[in-house]
Chains A and B, each alone.
Chain A
Amino acid sequence: MDRMLRIDMGAEGGPKATLTEVGEYAGLGGRALTSALVSKEVPPLCHPLGASNKLVIAPGLLSGTAAAVSGRLSVGCKSPLTGGIKEANAGGQPSQMLARLGYAAIVLEGKPKDETLYKIFINKDGVKIAEDNSLKMLGNYDLVDKLKGEYGDKIGVISIGPAGEMKMSAASIACTDMEVRPTRHAGRGGVGAVMGAKGVKAIILDDTGTKMRSPKDPDAFKEANKRWVEGLRKHPVTGQGLPAYGTNVLTNVINEAGGYPTHNFMWGRFEGCAKISGETQAELENQRGGEGSATHGCHRGCIIRCSGTFHDKDGHYVTKQPEYETVWAHGGNCGIDDLDAIAMLDRLDDDFGVDTIEMGATIGVAMEGGLAKFGDARAAINLVKEVGKGTPLGRILGNGAAVTGKVFGVERVPVVKGQSMPAYDPRSVQGIGVTYATSPMGADHTAGYAVATNILGVGGKVDPLKPEGQAELSRNLQIATAAIDSTGMCLFIAFAIMDQPETFQALIDTINTFYGLKLSADDVTALGKSVLKNERDFNARAGFTAAQDRLPEFFKKESLPPHNIVFNVTDKDLDTVFNW
C-alpha cells in the first residue's frame, strides 16, 4: 500500500489515471487518510457535487493482511447531505482486495463534461477506465450480475445504484460481500451522490495473482494476531452474542430501556419489538435457510460473523441479515413489525443504493407528514420504490429526512447537520446525544462508538456513576473511534478491547509487528485526535459554528415516554466537547 491512484474524471480527452506515491499521507489508512486528504485538498466551500470535491476510497492500515476483522473500507469527501466533511465506511471484500493490489487509496477528482458513465477495472496489471452507458440506472444487484458476466465471479465491486446516479443526498456506495452481492454499504452522508457526480458507476477489483501483504516481523505478527483472534473469540459479545444474533440483538434491550425511537421519535418503546428483535430474526433465518443462516461474515478474515442471510418463506434469497439500525429505521421508527417487509426494504435500499438509516428516518418523517400511516409496510415499500424510479416525490425522499421534513412541513425532524439520527433516542441516553450533536459527521452513532476509552486512558478518569462528564466521555469516545476507523478494523472489536486489556495490547502488537513500529496507547490517542482536528478544521472553514453542534429543538421540548425525559445537556457543556 505505498501508492495512490488518482483519476481525473474531467481531464481533456477523457478520464486520466495517475499513480502517485503516498507522500505526506504515508502511515495513514482508512478515515485518517480520507479526512487528511479531504481536509487538505478539497476547498471547504466547494459544491459537493462539483469538480473541486474529491472522493477518496481508502482501505484501513491492516486491510489486506492476515489480521482478523481488518476489512473496513473508508470513503471520504465533502458531504452533499451535511455540507461538511464525511467519512463513511463499509465491510465487504473491496478493502482487502484494494490493499492487496497495493493501493493506499483511490482518489476520484474532477468531473466529466457530459453524462457519460464510466467503469474502472483494476487488477495486478493496472487500471482500465471505460465508458459504459449500458450500466445506466441499473440497480446494484443487476449491475453486479452484469459485471460478473464480463469479468468473472472472483471480483469485488464498489458501485452506486440509481440514487447515486441521480445524485441524491441519501445515496450510498455499495461494496460486494464474499458472495459477490452488493450488500455492504458506505451509507452515510450521500457519498454515492459524489461518486455519481464523478460519472463513475463501478470500480471493479480483481486481486487474482496478488499476495497477502507481508508484515515486517512475520513471526511476531503471527503470534500477535493469534492473541488478537483468541481475544475476540473468547469475549461474550464478539464470540457469542454477535455471531448468534447479529447487531439486531440490541432491539429488545434498547426498547426495554425506553430509548428505542418509535413513530418518528415520538415514543421510546415499540409494542411490536419482539416481532422484529434479533432473537426472532435469527430464529426465522435459521428456520428458513437452515441452521447457521443467521451467522455469516461480510468479508474474508472476519471471525465475528455478525451478519446472516435472510430468505423469504419459500426459501429464496432476499437480502443479507438486516442490521439493528436498518430494522429500527424501517421497523419501529415507522411502526412496522413485519420482518419480511423490513427485509424487502433493506433489499430495495441496497439495490437503489441508499442509506438504510437515512431512508428509514425519511419514511418516518414522511409518515408524520401524512404521506402514509405509521405501520403501513406496503406504503413504505412503495415510497422507497419512488426513490428508485426517481419520480419527483422519490427525488424529495432520496434527499433525506431534512429535505422531506421541509417539503411536508414537519417539525419533528431527527437530524443533526442535515443527517438523520440512528436508533438510539438521545433523551434516554443523553451521552449519545452529545456525540450526535458534536460529531463533525452529523448525527452518527458510530462517531463515538469505540468503547475503549478506559483502556486508552484518554481524557483522564470519569466517575461512571455520576451524571457529570457527558462531554468528556463523548470526546474520549470520538477520539477512540477515529483511531479505530483508521485501522480498517471493524468497530465491533471495541467490546473485546474494552473488557480485555490483553486483547487491546494484541491489537497494538499486530499493528506494530506489521509495520515495524513501536506505537503506544498514547500514539493511538494522538492519531484519533489528529483525525478529529482535521475534520473540525474542514467544517469550520466550510462555515460550521457551534450553532450546528446542537440537537433539534424538539428533543429539549418534548418529553419521551415511558421515562418522560427531555434532552438536558446544556449548550455550554456541548461546546466543551472539543476542549483539549
Chain B
Amino acid sequence: MAFDKKQDQRNSIPEPKLLLLVRPELAPVFYDLFQAGVFVHAKIGATIQAFLCDGLGLDPQYVKERIQTVFLNGKAVDGPTSAVIPDHAVIALSAAMPGLLGATLRKGSFYAAMRSEISHAGQAAVSPHEGKVLLKLFNLLPGEIGAFLLSKGVWIKGDTLKKFLEKHLPRLAKGCIRAEMDGKTSAVESLAQQEWPADQEVLLKVDIK
C-alpha cells in the first residue's frame, strides 16, 4: 500500500466511520489488516520510541523487550529513541524473528554490520506537526496489541477495506455482533457490497466483546 501524499488535503472531507462489535473468536481475522498496514495518528518529527509509547500508548517495557525489530521506511532501526519519524512514514514492527536474517535485523543486533546497507541512518530534522503513519505489525504483535489499536481506531483505505470485508464475509457475518456505519446500524453483508471510495481513508474501530 503506497502512502497517499494527497491525503492531507482530503482530510477536510468528513471521513466515513465504521464501528464493529465482534466476538473474541473473530479477532484474528483483523490481524490480516496489520500485515498490509493501517494508518494511525502520529507526531511527525517525534522519535519512534515516543510514537510507540506516547502516541500508541504501549508500555515502554513491552517496547523494549517485545518489539525486537523496527523498520522505518524499509530500513532497520537500531536506535528507536533517536530515529525520527518523517512525513509519510511507513513503520513496521515485529517480535523477535528466526533465521540469521531475523537475528541480523533486530534493533542493535550483534550482526547489524551484515545489513549496514539497509540500516536506518539519521535524517535531517523534521519540524514537529500532527500527521499519520502507515503502521504494519508482524509475527506475534497483531495478536498482542492489535485489539488494543483497533479499539482506539485505525484508518484504512476504502479499497483495502472492501477487499477485507469481501474476503472474510462468512466469518464476519458469523462473528460480528453489531456494525455501525456513520452512526447507522448496518448489516455486514451490505457493507461488503457497498462501494467504498478507493483512495479515501475510513476510520475503523473494533471492540471485542
Q: Quick check: is B125 within 8 A (CB to CB) of the other chain?
A: no
Of B12-20, B70-78, B189-197, the segment with at least 4 beta carbons within 8 Å of chain A is B70-78
Would you call A432 and B113 a contact (CB within 8 A)? no
Q: Quick check: is B7 within 8 A (CB to CB) of the other chain?
A: no
| Residue from A280, A453, A477, A492 within 8 A of B32 (CB atoms) | A280
A439 to chain B, nearest CB (A): 12
Instruction: Give Cα A466–Cα B116 distance, bound, in whole angstroms.
Output: 7
Q: Quick check: is B69 within 8 A (CB to CB) of the other chain?
A: yes
Known interface pairs A253-B139, A256-B71; A477-B100 also in contact (CB < 8 Å): yes
Would you call B98 and A249 a contact (CB within 8 A)? yes
A452 to chain B, nearest CB (A): 10
Of B50-58, B88-96, B149-157, B200-208, the segment with at least 4 beta carbons within 8 Å of chain A is B88-96
Q: Quick check: is A274 within 8 A (CB to CB) of the other chain?
A: yes
Q: Quick check: is B31 within 8 A (CB to CB) of the other chain?
A: yes
A306 to chain B, nearest CB (A): 8
Contacts of B116 in A (CB 8 A): 430, 466-467
Contacts of B108 in A (CB 8 A): 464-465
- Subset of 6 A-B contacts with CB under 8 Å: A237-B102, A257-B105, A257-B115, A279-B32, A465-B113, A563-B75
Q: Quick check: is B126 within 8 A (CB to CB) of the other chain?
A: no
Residue of A nearest to B113 (CB): A469
B161 to chain A, nearest CB (A): 15
Residue of A nearest to B142 (CB): A279
Instruction: Give Cα A469–Cα B104 distance, bound, in whole angstroms.
Output: 14
Contacts of A279 in B (CB 8 A): 31-32, 35, 138-139, 142
Residue of A nearest to B65 (CB): A236
Residue of A nearest to B108 (CB): A464
B145 to chain A, nearest CB (A): 14
Instruction: Give Cα A454–Cα B69 distance, bound, in whole angstroms.
Output: 19
Contacts of B92 in A (CB 8 A): 252-253, 256
Contacts of A247 in B (CB 8 A): 98-99
In order of increasing CB-CB distance, the 8 nearest A-B pairs are A431-B114, A467-B116, A274-B35, A451-B103, A252-B138, A464-B112, A429-B115, A256-B92
Contacts of B32 in A (CB 8 A): 274, 279-280, 283
Contacts of B138 in A (CB 8 A): 249, 252-253, 256, 277, 279
Of A69-77, A238-246, A359-367, the segment with at least 4 beta carbons within 8 Å of chain B is A238-246
Instruction: Give Cα A495–Cα B138 distance, bound, in whole angstroms.
Output: 18
- Which residues of chain B from 16 to 68 have any CB-CB distance to chain A below 8 Å in the complex? 28, 31-32, 35-36, 66, 68
Q: Quick check: is A250 within 8 A (CB to CB) of the other chain?
A: yes
| Residue from A236, A464, A474 within 8 A of B109 (CB atoms) | A464
Would you call B113 and A467 a contact (CB within 8 A)? yes
Q: Quick check: is A110 within 8 A (CB to CB) of the other chain?
A: no
Q: Quick check: is A324 within 8 A (CB to CB) of the other chain?
A: yes
Q: Quick check: is A462 within 8 A (CB to CB) of the other chain?
A: yes
Contacts of A324 in B (CB 8 A): 99
Residue of A nearest to B103 (CB): A451
Q: Quick check: is B132 within 8 A (CB to CB) of the other chain?
A: no
Would you call A429 and B103 a contact (CB within 8 A)? no
Instruction: Give Cα A110–Cα B117 distance, bound, in whole angstroms.
Output: 49
The tally of CB-CB contacts under 8 A between chains A and B is 168
Contacts of A241 in B (CB 8 A): 95-98, 139-140
A161 to chain B, nearest CB (A): 28
For chain B, the bracket of interface size reads 35 or more
Q: Quick check: is B111 within 8 A (CB to CB) of the other chain?
A: yes
Q: Quick check: is B198 within 8 A (CB to CB) of the other chain?
A: no
Instruction: Give Cα A171–Cα B117 distance, bound, in whole angstroms.
Output: 35
Contacts of B115 in A (CB 8 A): 257, 259, 428-431
Would you call B96 and A236 a contact (CB within 8 A)? yes
A130 to chain B, nearest CB (A): 42
Contacts of A432 in B (CB 8 A): 100-101, 104, 114
Would you call B112 and A254 a contact (CB within 8 A)? no
Would you call B140 and A256 a contact (CB within 8 A)? no
Contacts of A389 in B (CB 8 A): none
Instruction: Give Cα A279–Cα B112 distance, bound, in whole angstroms.
Output: 25
Known interface pairs A428-B118, A565-B117; A249-B139 also in contact (CB < 8 Å): yes
Contacts of B117 in A (CB 8 A): 427-430, 467, 563, 565, 568
| Residue from B35, B112, B114 within 8 A of A277 (CB atoms) | B35
Instruction: Give Cα A237–Cα B142 distance, bound, in whole angstroms.
Output: 16
| Residue from A257, A445, A463, A562 within 8 A of B100 (CB atoms) | A445
| Residue from B74, B95, B104 within 8 A of A236 (CB atoms) | B95
Instruction: Give Cα A462–Cα B113 distance, bound, in whole angstroms.
Output: 9
| Residue from A283, A430, A562 within 8 A of B114 (CB atoms) | A430
Looking at B75, B92, B104, the one whose CB has the most chain A CB atoms below 10 A away is B104
Residue of A nearest to B143 (CB): A244
| Residue from B78, B99, B113 within 8 A of A449 (CB atoms) | B99
Would you call B140 and A240 a contact (CB within 8 A)? yes
B82 to chain A, nearest CB (A): 12
Would you call B100 and A473 a contact (CB within 8 A)? no
Would you call A250 and B35 a contact (CB within 8 A)? no
Would you call A562 and B98 a contact (CB within 8 A)? no
Known: A430-B114, A494-B103. 17 other contacts (CB 8 A): A236-B66, A241-B97, A249-B98, A250-B99, A252-B35, A252-B92, A252-B139, A257-B71, A274-B32, A274-B35, A280-B32, A429-B115, A451-B110, A465-B112, A474-B114, A495-B96, A563-B74
